[in-house]
Amino acid sequence: MDVRDELSQQELNLLAQAKLLDLAPVEAWTAIGTNMQLAYSTHGIFRYFGKFPPPVAAHLIEKFTEVGDLVWDPMCGSGTTGVESLLRGRKSILCDVNPLSRLLSRVKTRFLSQEVLEQAVNRVIEGYRPCGYDEYDFLPIGLRNAEHWFLPETANSLRGLKRIIEEENNDLIKDFLLVLFASTVRIVSRATTQQGRLFLDVVTAKEDALPTFISKTKKAINAVSSLPEDAEKFVSIVDHDIQHEFPLKHQSTTKLIILHPPYFNAYRYSSVNSLELSWLGFNHNVIRKSEVRESFKVGKPEKVNEYLDDMSVSIKNACGLLVPGGRIGLMIGDTFMKGSYIPVTRMLLDTIPSDIKIEQVALRVPKYTEATWVASQRRDGTAIGVNLYDFIITLRKC
């Protein structure tokens, strides 16, 4: 359905600037609600910068699948698609190259009882004490300057928490505790908690990590223990780089892929989460090598060709998973660089395989609370936050 008559002149101008106005029927979408309201179920147990609002996934799932169907998200981030699929009785397969994403996705889609979780948290609280490196020889991995981001007391406190969590021998419970631990890291660090990018904000550092860890437990326990008890049967989590073809057994298995790649001019996810990754024992520099290439650091518009190369292979591989008639819901944004608008979305759509048709173009109008993060990611050399909109493109395999 084309509802362009209902779009404002500004929205039509944005679509025209993006060269998306005459490709397919157009719509405007938004997801209303405060961050708190959108943090239902397990969505709120980790503050993941750059996730999409759960109603976007919910809408696509309800529109294009039925109860019992399989939904894929090959760049799953914090697992939003998995949670929304689970809540709607759909199965899902979630992939990501980032181990933090896979950890979050797992914990957000696995039931554990309130009693088991409370006991596990109590074991951590009772066994906790700050530890120097001489007592527990763990150092955050891959951080060039760990002292810059963590006070020595904070590092000892986090080391003490990690030591006791590593003693947990049930993997599911340990993963749950590791998510609470990861949620604590940024808050107690010397980095700002307001933006995805790491900026020094010395005022927010906390020497003792335990109170922050404890403050995260109640909500997370309530959320995880309210999931369906057989949740594990519905959601699979796989370490897969979308730039590699998916195994044959997965080809032509799904009616819906939800694809929300990193945007061209955005800070890498491995960098956004480098502090958490380092304390979980993963080197963000290694993960970076598998991520879709962007141009955040160098700011060179011509780098868009590398991004397009990576993303068109990614879309081709994703298409292999679709049954004929299946859809991809692609959420992606354009960018300004050096004062020029780069119509990344249109450039990417021009590369898609010929058996993939563009069925609909939706302009996504951001809700106010997203603006600060999004603004910090989009630069035009003179201004910040020039374009707060992105697109949800529905693609259909013939």
| Residues of the shown chain interacting with ligand SAM in the complex, contacts defined by CB under 6 A | 48, 50-52, 74-75, 77-78, 80, 95-98, 101, 241-243, 260-262, 269, 290-292
Q: How far is CA 160 from CA 154, 277, 323, 324, 351, in A?
A: 10, 17, 49, 53, 50
Judged by beta carbon, residue 77 or residue 366, the one nearer ligand SAM is 77
Judged by beta carbon, residue 283 or residue 290, the one nearer ligand SAM is 290
Tell me how far apart the 2 most distant CA atoms of the chain are, in Å: 68
Q: Is 128 helix (H, G, I), strand (E, B) or coil?
A: coil
Of all residues in the shown chain, the one whose CB is closest to ligand SAM is 77
The tokens of 55 are what?
A: 């109603």
Q: State in angstroms the smallest separation of the CB of 269 from ligand SAM.
A: 4
Judged by beta carbon, residue 161 or residue 220, the one nearer ligand SAM is 220
Of 216, 117, 218, which Cα lies nearest the Cα of 174? 117
Q: State in angstroms the smallest separation of the CB of 314 from ligand SAM.
A: 7
Q: State in angstroms the smallest separation of the CB of 75 from ligand SAM.
A: 3
Q: Using an 8 Å Cβ cutoff, are 238 and 96 in contact?
A: no
Q: State in angstroms the smallest separation of the CB of 245 from ligand SAM.
A: 12
Q: How far is CA 197 from CA 68, 273, 378, in A?
A: 39, 9, 12
The burial class, CB within 10 Å (0-12 / 13-18 / 19+), for 136 is middle
Q: State in angstroms the smallest separation of the CB of 306 from ligand SAM.
A: 13
Judged by beta carbon, residue 315 or residue 365, the one nearer ligand SAM is 315
Judged by beta carbon, residue 78 or residue 109, the one nearer ligand SAM is 78
Angle (nearest 5°) at CA 355 between 353 and 360: 90
Can you tell me the distance from the alpha carbon of 312 to that of 314, in angstroms, rounded to the nearest whole number?
5
Query: Judging by DSSP bridges, how do beta strands 235-238 and 91-95 pair with one another?
Result: parallel
Q: Is 291 helix (H, G, I), strand (E, B) or coil?
A: coil
Judged by beta carbon, residue 79 or residue 326, the one nearer ligand SAM is 79
Q: How far is CA 131 from CA 84, 137, 159, 326, in A?
A: 39, 9, 6, 53
Judged by beta carbon, residue 17 or residue 317, the one nearer ligand SAM is 317
Q: State in angstroms the smallest separation of the CB of 291 from ligand SAM.
A: 4
Edge-first strand order for the sheet with 70-73 is: 26-29, 356-364, 390-397, 322-332, 254-259, 70-73, 91-95, 235-238
Q: State in angstroms the smallest separation of the CB of 79 from ligand SAM.
A: 6
Judged by beta carbon, residue 52 or residue 176, the one nearer ligand SAM is 52
Q: State in angstroms the smallest separation of the CB of 97 from ligand SAM.
A: 4
